């Protein structure tokens, strides 16, 4: 016959010959539940439960022979003592197997739950990392835009402050552009000389000439008894260098309304004629006095930094139509020792 546990619903193959009276008390070998199995062939009502009545059925997978070999246990008053002891030992063995099986299932269930939790934690961490990466990228994008805008602003500022004025200086006002170049060269040379990585400054030439500043230039006319009306261009030369200069030479031009040069003369600074000399001297005498390199009383031999020295240029036989004059430095020498 087939019997079924009333708790776990496990079915077992049971030998009918082991059935006694109205039924028998059994213990499920799987869940350990104790229940009363009625005898389907008995007509009388089930008797009261017997003390210490236990039965260990064979498993569902066992063969008919194994199920039949399982001993049945009646009340202790109906079985011999040896059979009762064997039944108790079998029950304890079954309990042990059932307990071990339950523990193994619990451990497996816990491991499965732990692994599932680990997977959930890993997934959650991955999602958080992805969110942080997206947030970081979103924060970096506007920063790059701002840095690009700042770079463009700096470029436009350099264009407005440096390039445009340079274009104006070199094309609209070339004379100022040339002075700017010379000033830049001077500053570079000064830096190189200070650091000791450049050649010594030249003792003469255009670089030294641009160290001389001409100021307070004025033009006037005087009647000479021999030459008639002559033009006199006067002013002051200033040493802007950080070293002494000597033999400063200047050149003046007289120009008409159409910017045509009507005449040009040169002289050394420090040679100054009085009005009496300008009135009575001949052209040769005037030229000889103005072309002395050392100047009057050797005043042009040593001009200290920020020192000043006067200059004078005379135009004999001044032509008609003179509107303006220009004056530039055409020579100067650097003194190597003070």
Q: Tell me the domain boundaries of the chain.
A: 2-79, 208-334
17-31, 121-135, 180-194: which has the highest mean pLDDT? 17-31
Do 234 and 274 touch, CB atoms closer than 8 A? no
Contacts of 64 (CB under 8 A, 6+ apart): 13
Given a cut of 80, whether residue 298 has pLDDT beyond it is yes
32-46, 63-77, 195-209: which has the highest mean pLDDT? 32-46
Do 58 and 70 touch, CB atoms closer than 8 A? yes
What is the arithmetic mean of pLDDT over 218-244? 93
Q: Is 123 exposed, middle or buried (0-12, 13-18, 19+ CB in 10 A)?
A: exposed
Kindly state the greatest CA–CA separation across the chain: 177
Instruction: Report residue 25 as tokens.
Output: 């008390």
Give the pLDDT of residue 78: 42
User: Which helix (H) or strand (E) covers residue 255, if one does?
Assistant: strand 245-255
Give the pLDDT of residue 93: 78
Pick the CATH number of 208-334 from 1.10.287, 2.102.10, 3.30.70, 2.60.40: 2.60.40
Confidence of residue 252 (pLDDT cuts 50, 70, 90): very high
Instruction: Report residue 228 as tokens.
Output: 């008639």
- Residues 172 and 153: their CA atoms lie apart, in Å, by 27
**Residue in 296, 244, 226, 245 with CA at minimum distance from that of residue 268:** 296
Give the pLDDT of residue 292: 94
């Amino acid at each position: 016959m087939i019997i079924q546990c009333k708790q776990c619903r496990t079915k077992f193959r049971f030998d009918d010959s082991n059935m006694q009276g109205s039924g028998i008390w059994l213990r499920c070998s799987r869940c350990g539940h104790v229940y009363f199995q009625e005898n389907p062939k008995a007509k009388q009502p089930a008797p009261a439960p017997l003390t210490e009545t236990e039965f260990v059925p064979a498993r569902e997978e066992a063969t008919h022979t194994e199920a039949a070999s399982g001993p049945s246990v009646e009340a202790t008053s109906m079985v011999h003592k040896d059979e009762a002891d064997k039944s108790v030992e079998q029950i304890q063995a079954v309990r042990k197997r059932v307990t071990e099986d339950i523990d193994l299932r619990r451990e497996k269930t816990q491991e499965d739950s732990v692994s599932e939790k680990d997977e959930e934690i890993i997934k959650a961490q991955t999602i958080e990392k992805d969110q942080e990466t997206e947030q970081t990228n979103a924060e970096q994008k506007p920063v790059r835009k701002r840095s690009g805008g700042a770079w463009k602003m700096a470029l436009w500022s350099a264009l407005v402050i440096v390039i445009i004025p340079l274009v104006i200086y070199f094309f609209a006002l070339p004379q100022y552009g040339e002075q700017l170049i010379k000033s830049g060269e001077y500053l570079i040379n000064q830096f190189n000389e200070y650091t000791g990585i450049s050649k010594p400054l030249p003792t003469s030439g255009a670089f030294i000439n641009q160290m001389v500043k001409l100021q307070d230039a004025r033009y006037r006319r005087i009647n000479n008894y021999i030459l008639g009306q002559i033009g006199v261009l006067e002013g002051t030369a200033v040493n802007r260098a950080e070293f002494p200069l000597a033999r400063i030479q200047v050149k003046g031009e007289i120009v008409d309304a159409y910017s045509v040069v009507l005449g040009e003369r040169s002289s050394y600074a420090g040679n100054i004629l009085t009005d009496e000399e300008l009135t009575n001297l001949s052209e040769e005498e005037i030229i000889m006095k103005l072309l002395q390199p050392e100047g009057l009383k050797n005043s042009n031999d040593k001009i200290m930094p920020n020192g000043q020295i006067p200059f004078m240029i005379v135009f004999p036989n001044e032509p008609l139509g003179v509107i303006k004059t220009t004056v530039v430095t055409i020579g100067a020498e650097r003194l190597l020792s003070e």
